[in-house]
Structure 1
Amino acid sequence: MYMPSTKWTWSFMGVTVFQCIVSLALEGYVFGRFQSSLDLARGGTAPSDALTIPTYLALFIFGFLYEVVLVWDALRLKNTIQVIGICIYNLGMLIYAAVEMGQVSDAINKLEAKGDIDEGTWIALRPYLIAAPCVIALCTVLLSFLAWKLYDEFAWTIYKHISADLRLKRRYLTYQIYIALLKFDFFFFLGFTVQFLVVVPNTSNFEKWLTVAALPITVVLLFFAAFFTRRESYAGQIAVIILYFAGMAYFVFKLVRMYEAPEKRVEEYKPARRSLTIFAVLTLIALVLTMVTAFVCMRNFNKGLKPHIQKREVPNADELKYTNYGPDQFNGPSHSLEPVPHRMTID
């Protein structure tokens, strides 16, 4: 449960929490103002076009809270790859906030045309919808700078933990990339699923329950994916990779269905088709990267990395200096390493 206590780690966490509070306050105001305008016009009954804004708010709440958890986890594990991934994740939230403006505008225009919402609602909400991506953009720049500082800080600790063997360090880096990808896969899949279930009407019972069932299956899959990698299980890793292929087929099917379904069905996808497409494409890209990294991790089995990843947390500099981390306490039993290259670097 330990998190390193340095000015850069606290700054990184502080920027993340600040962004979460400010962004959720802006989104909360947008949601409240929208709902009050809608209630005045409809007496509390919300038409289907109005579902986009509550869905966006739910995703932003989960997205930013999940990011705070990811930041704490990355700092605790000194995972430089996950820290860099959080900056990319923040950039994705920036794109999502920008896309939100267009889809909220379209939804309000449709509602105004039907007389389902007060006139002037878009004018009242636009400044807050513009402010949200501006705040995220500023925090993305700050997080990127802090990530650079944290990279230098964590590199030395990991260097001491893994040793100077460059081949072993590359294997550990691959493992870090894989674990970070698994955590981001969860958010992308959940974001797509929530939007599909809430915004898209008239989904068949079979497709709806299949989508609902995919959520717990995904959580279990990601857990076992990390477990099999740490245990260096070939059978488990191969099974997980096969399931990655199944996941890719699922999202390709959803993309085709959004654009090639019968005309009536395509119209039902339109309220959230842009954001659904973004999430589906990002999930596909993440799955491809995850699958490739899983192959590389499997090639690295039985090559000396297992003892270094049995304990998930990397000891900090003080622990390495002032405590007795013997082979049986941290690094596990002794193991043979490949010849160490003549040239050794920290990075």
Structure 2
Amino acid sequence: MYKPNTKWTWSFTIISLVQAIASLGLEGYVFAKFQTSLLATAKGTTQSRTIPTYLSLFIFGFLYQLVLVWDALRLKNTIQVIGLCLYNLGLLIYAAVQVDQIRQAVTTLGDLRDVEPQPGGNAGSDAGLALWRGMRPYLIAVPCVIALGLILLSFVAWKLYDEFAWSIYKHISADLRLKRRYLTYQIYIALLKFDFFFFLGFTVQFLVVVVNTSDAEFYITIAAVPITIVLLLLAAFWTRRESVMGMMCIIMLYFAALAYFLFKLVRMYAASSGHRRDDYSPARKSLTTFAAITVLLLVVTIVNACWCTHNFNKGLKPHIAKRKVPNPEDKTRGGYGEFGSQPVGLGQVTSRMTID
């Protein structure tokens, strides 16, 4: 098992862990306060689902981030380390968006008299406003914590870039074209890992928060979850195997996924002026944020997938077959030569279908 062995890898791990604990603690308090203030009549309404959904996504998001941190440091992958900083930026945007969405949900529940009166307060809209005032400082603190973590992680990522420079590329030959192909491969694999969170995050929100969807749309949305997982696994598998036909199928599925998310965006805003306006309003901003980031990621992923396919059968396959990046001290153990030399041995090639 990988263990951080330098001050910068330890720093990156500790900052990520503290950021996750602090953010989830604040979100947990908001969730508890919200749930204990709801009346029985509010259970099951669209507005009552907003905070549990946000909390669930933050729990999943930060736990997934910790897994990605471990994976990036284990592989000494600077591309993924930089991607984690951008991932934090996405969480920051999401945390900022949730403030206004929760305010709208709480005030709506207050107007519907679905919120218990706060101590010394009145029922109805006054209860909703009182609840919102009690939750607001903690909700504002969440993006502040994430922003501070983002700044610290970005600084440490800069330090790790220098530290990992030798380890990442020393098992690639001095051919600059081969190094560029390897960089393209690393970017593509990192994109798949971040695609997974944003694909799943959008789908879960849509399933939980948006009600009154047709049976066909509901089941199609459910089916998108396992399809997404299989798609990403196959994308990594066929890239490692350098299968042109497999990648052509994957790229066509990427375009289908792009059409799916654009359809969801259009449908969501087309419904804003119709009879389904209230179904989307509690989560429209957060769904739009996730959909926009996902569409952007898909476009970049499609470009990188085409680029990776173009690089097939040009000498990269043996180098990416070795999953574990060697430690710097390995250069004295006979496994690899000096930087710029051809690797002596690549170890056993694995064919497991995983995103690495």
TM-score by length of 2: 0.89
CA displacement, residues 12-47 of structure 1 (integer Å, 9 cap, x when unaligned): 011001111111111000000111111xx4378353
Deviation at 1:65, TM superposition (A): 0.5
Residues 1:242 and 2:252 are matched in the alignment? yes
CA displacement, residues 262-319 of structure 1 (integer Å, 9 cap, x when unaligned): 6012331111011111111111110110010001111111111111100122111112
- 1:216-231 paired onto structure 2 within 5 Å: 216-231=226-241
Residues 1:21 and 2:21 are matched in the alignment? yes
Residues 1:279 and 2:277 are matched in the alignment? no
Q: Tell me how far apart the structure 2 counterparts of residues 29 and 312 of structure 1 sit (CA, whole Å).
A: 41
Deviation at 1:169, TM superposition (A): 1.1
Q: Which residue of 2 aligns with 1:12?
A: 12
Q: Which residue of 2 aligns with 1:290?
A: 301
Residue type of the alignment partner of 2:7: K
Q: Tell me how far apart the structure 2 counterparts of residues 327 and 240 of structure 1 sit (CA, whole Å).
A: 34
Q: Tell me how far apart the structure 1 counterparts of residues 305 and 194 of structure 2 sit (CA, whole Å).
A: 15
Contact kept, 8 Å, 2:210 with 2:280, in 1: the verdict is yes
TM-score by length of 1: 0.92
Q: Which residue of 2 aligns with 1:300?
A: 311
Paired residue total:
330
Q: 1 or 2, which has the higher helix percentage? A: 1
Q: Tell me how far apart the structure 2 counterparts of residues 176 and 159 of structure 1 sit (CA, whole Å).
A: 11
Contact kept, 8 Å, 1:52 with 1:272, in 2: the verdict is yes
Q: Tell me how far apart the structure 2 counterparts of residues 307 and 55 of structure 1 sit (CA, whole Å).
A: 44
Contact kept, 8 Å, 2:199 with 2:294, in 1: the verdict is yes
Q: Which residue of 1 aligns with 2:45?
A: 47
2:87 maps to which of 56, 68, 89: 89
Residues 1:148 and 2:158 are matched in the alignment? yes
Q: Tell me how far apart the structure 2 counterparts of residues 284 and 43 of structure 1 sit (CA, whole Å).
A: 37
Residues 1:129 and 2:139 are matched in the alignment? yes
Q: Tell me how far apart the structure 1 counterparts of residues 309 and 51 of structure 2 sit (CA, whole Å).
A: 43
Deviation at 1:166, TM superposition (A): 1.4
- 1:1-347 paired onto structure 2 within 5 Å: 1-38=1-38, 41-42=39-40, 45-117=43-115, 118=117, 119=127, 120-261=130-271, 263-325=274-336, 327-330=344-347
Aligned to 2:8, the other structure's residue is in SS state helix
Deviation at 1:230, TM superposition (A): 0.7
Deviation at 1:328, TM superposition (A): 4.0
What value does the CA root-mean-square deviation take over the aligned residues?
Answer: 1.6
Q: Tell me how far apart the structure 1 counterparts of residues 4 and 139 of structure 2 sit (CA, whole Å).
A: 35
Contact kept, 8 Å, 2:28 with 2:55, in 1: the verdict is yes
Deviation at 1:323, TM superposition (A): 4.3
Deviation at 1:115, TM superposition (A): 1.2
Contact kept, 8 Å, 1:308 with 1:330, in 2: the verdict is no
Distance 1:13 1:133, change over 3 A: same
Residue type of the alignment partner of 1:296: W
Deviation at 1:322, TM superposition (A): 2.2
Aligned to 1:264, the other structure's residue is in SS state coil
**Identity of counterpart residues, as a percentage?**
64
Residue type of the alignment partner of 1:110: T
Deviation at 1:201, TM superposition (A): 0.7
Contact kept, 8 Å, 1:168 with 1:305, in 2: the verdict is yes
Deviation at 1:4, TM superposition (A): 4.7
Deviation at 1:199, TM superposition (A): 0.5
Q: Tell me how far apart the structure 1 counterparts of residues 109 and 290 of structure 2 sit (CA, whole Å).
A: 25
Q: Tell me how far apart the structure 2 counterparts of residues 144 and 293 of structure 1 sit (CA, whole Å).
A: 24
CA displacement, residues 113-148 of structure 1 (integer Å, 9 cap, x when unaligned): 111113211111111111111111100000000000
